[in-house]
Structure 1
Amino acid sequence: MKILELKDVKVFSNKHTLLDIPTFSLQEGDLVGVIGPNGAGKSTLLKILSFLEAPTEGQVLYKGEEKRANTLSLLLRRKFAVALQQSLLFDMTVYQNVALGLKLRKENKNVIDEKVSYWLTKFNIAHLAKKNARSLSGGEAQRVNLARALILAPEVLFLDEPFSALDFPTKAQLIQDFKEILKDTGTTTFLVSHDLLEIKHLTKSLAVILNGKVEQFGNTAEVVDHPNEACASFLNKWKELYIV
């Protein structure tokens, strides 16, 4: 089932085309990676799909119905969660950061306690519950950031290079833990990345964006190993940077 779909979407800025996508969709339960050079339109695509911004032209459909970012209902907006490269944690404890979204939704305190405990345990940060979130290491902070997003049980989780600031050992362990969590939850996930490790371990499908256009989209392994003519140059140079 298609959860989100783009039709004839274009985004312009100062007469420059940021996106030109005739069609693109996210299927329920899919783990989609998006790669491309800097300025290709990866983050813009994420913002359009997550209704953070509206396209200049075209349609964004949620389960077959057109929706607009500026008129999106709170109920529908709550079906999406976004985690960015910077964790942007509040100056409060780890527990309070993870619980905040549920408190804003006026959940019962017992329910909040139960869910926070569950997600802190899933991300192996239960021992940090009473620690100030701004005193954490980069890897710890990103675990809190991801727990804060998933505790809201989103239909779609959007990730914009959430692991890029981490050192390799920290990143590798978090990716492995996160992979198991996504396997358990089945959350539809959209990952913007430039890292081959993240793409190969976390995604099932891969889109390559060049100059605002999705030039190839398919099974991750097939796209990485068998790029089409339009993507071959970029993908081959990209693979040379990593030993996985």
Structure 2
Amino acid sequence: MTEMIRLEGIEYSVPGKKILSIPHLSIDKGATYGIMGPNGAGKSTLLKMLSLLEPPTKGDLYFQGEKISKKQVSLEQRRKIAIALQQSLLLNTSVYQNIALGLKIRKVPKQEIKNKVEYWLDTFNISHLINKHAYQLSGGEAQRVNLARAMILEPEILCLDEPFSALDFPTKMKLIQDFKLILESTGTTAIFVSHDLLEIKSLTHQLFLIMNGELKQHGITNEVIDYPNEATRSFINEWKSLLPT
């Protein structure tokens, strides 16, 4: 597999506290990765680092084989990564304008923007919302618009920070099912932070378990869940008890 991102000897600290300490971690092209752990484990900090938004305090980060400068990430590198958050943070305008925004910033021709917006509206089954205002959307609709806004940029890597956590169960599972097919069809590499084991099981191929800023277990998602090690067993078993039977 082609390696997209590699961390080597990473540490991230703030005054008086070490947030992350990860000797090695790699992300391969085309797979979907889950990051899971207790509150305060360092999951979101790791995601920011992998999305090139937060440089490590120590250690090296490589993107597509190239060492990333701690001082400045190139625009070309940034444009290969998109981010979708728990809160959709849509602009106070129409669905069309929200999805088109990134392409407008990149000065893509109007007709090309129109074609791509229509394609992603159709892909996420929200073509009927094209002229709706953002404030008129349900939670599930808003998150579909949010994901379409990220995918229209055709990122090589998509970073997601709990994008489904605010949705009711049926809406969440339908969106995850649709989104998994979209990721597979586009070959997009995705890195997904979640507190929900069912979301992780439904969407990811590989799972990283982070506790107290350290990578305690990683591997194929189902194997990590079925065979947790001593450090992760209590955490995994607690979440297993919450899964629907």
Check whether TM > 0.5. yes
In structure 2, the partner of 1:213 is: 214
Length, aligned pairs only: 244
1:100 is displaced (CA, Å) by 0.6
CA distance in 2, matches of 1:223, 1:102: 39
| Counterpart for residue 229 of structure 1 | 230
Stretches of structure 2 lacking an aligned partner (at least 5 in a row): none
Q: Which amino acid aligns with 2:179?
A: F
Aligned counterpart, 2:157: 156
**Residue equivalent to 1:55:** 56
Name the CA distance, whole Å, in 2 between partners of 1:230 and 1:67: 32
How far does the alpha carbon of each residue in 1:138-159 deviate from its partner, in whole angstroms, 9 at most, with x for none?
1000000000000000010000
TM norm structure 1: 0.98
- Counterpart of 1:100 in structure 2 is 101
Q: Deviations over 1:101-130 (max 9, x none)?
A: 011111111111111000001111110000
Query: Who is 1:125 aligned against?
Result: 126
Q: Deviations over 1:217-240 (max 9, x none)?
A: 100000000011111111111211
What is the TM-score with the length of structure 2 in the denominator? 0.97
Paired letter, 2:114: D
| Alignment deviations for residues 48-79 of structure 1 (CA, whole Å, 9 cap, x no partner) | 11111111111110122211354111111000
Asked if the contact 1:90/1:134 (under 8 Å) is kept, the reply is no
Partner SS for 2:244: coil
2:143 maps to which residue?
142
Map of 1:111 onto structure 2: 112
- For the aligned residues, what is the CA RMSD? 1.0
Runs of 4+ in 1 over 6 A off after TM superposition: none
CA distance in 2, matches of 1:204, 1:170: 22
Query: 1:51–1:69: 8 Å Cα contact kept in structure 2?
Result: no
SS in 2 for 1:131: coil
Give the percent of matched residue pairs that are identical in Structure 1 and Structure 2: 58
- Aligned equivalents of 1:124, 1:70: Cα separation in 2: 41
- Match of 1:140, as an amino acid? E
Instruction: Find the residue that maps to 1:71 and give its secondary structure.
Output: coil
Counterparts of 1:68 and 1:163, CA distance in 2: 32
